[in-house]
Amino acid sequence: MTWTTIGSIGDIPRRGARCVATPQGKIAVFRTADDQFYAIDDHCPHKGGPLSQGIVHGAAVTCPLHNWVISLETGNALGADAGSVRTIPVRVENGALLIALDTQLQAAE
């Protein structure tokens, strides 16, 4: 796994998101109201909606297309909906945001 700097914590507003293009596809990086950071694939498991454009509430995001709610912690759809997206490790170092990319996936692509 390789840690990649994607910006600073100030780049993402509270209850907001930023989309990052990687060799593994688009990743949505979220900041909650209490300054927790999460990263998941930027597509809803339902119809592929851009989760980075959804509404962040607590540790979840609501897809802007059909209102599916996705846990930012687990990547699982919540409520009666079924499906999930990949979660990506995130860490903060001296105000910088880093995500962990799987180097094996990068080499295969």
How do residues 45-93 score in pLDDT, each as one tens digit? 999 999 999 999 999 999 999 999 999 999 999 988 899 999 999 999 9
Structural fold of domain 2-108: Rieske Iron-sulfur Protein (2.102.10)
How do residues 18-35 score in pLDDT, each as one tens digit? 999 998 899 999 999 999
Q: Which of 79, 62, 75, 59 is nearest to 27 (CA)?
A: 75
Compute the residue count for the chain. 109
Residue 45 neighbours by CB under 8 Å, 6+ apart: 68, 70, 77, 83, 84, 85
Provide the residue ranges of all domains of the chain, joining segments of one domain with +.
2-108
